[in-house]
Amino acid sequence: MILGQFIILGAALFSLGVYGVLTRRNAVLVLLSVELMLAAVNINFVAFDTYARDVTAGGQIFSLFVIAVGAAEVGIGLAIVLLIFRNRESANVDELDLMKL
């Protein structure tokens, strides 16, 4: 069954992303890990879309949305990281606890 393989690929990619988000200290790498998770989601979308023979091709369209949102997110995310680095001379997320306030 070809769907099973795609799901396994998606799950593996997603798990890698999660691992990256939770363990990496560098904000840039955290962002990259998030991109990995998004890619995993995209794979699932496309796979299920094809599997279900969706005539409206909703899954593929949605994955295009996700790519667009991901690009925007990386753009804004990197800009924030850059600003934080400039202000605090570090891009390590474990040193940032401003959200406590």
Tell me the two tokens of residue 85.
């680095």
Closest approach of other proteins to the CB of residue 2, in Å: 24
Give the C-alpha separation, 41 to 90, whole Å: 31
Specify the residue, 18 or 46, whose C-beta has the smaller distance to other proteins: 18
Specify the residue, 2 or 98, whose C-beta has the smaller distance to other proteins: 98
Closest approach of other proteins to the CB of residue 61, in Å: 26
Is residue 60 within 8 A of residue 51, CB to CB? The reply is: no
What does the binding site for other proteins look like in residue numbers (CB under 8 A)? 18, 21-22, 30, 93-94, 96-101
Closest approach of other proteins to the CB of residue 21, in Å: 6
Give the C-alpha separation, 19 to 55, whole Å: 36
Other C-beta atoms lying within 10 Å of the C-beta of residue 72: 10
Q: Which residue matches tokens 């996700």?
A: 66
Specify the residue, 55 or 98, whose C-beta has the smaller distance to other proteins: 98
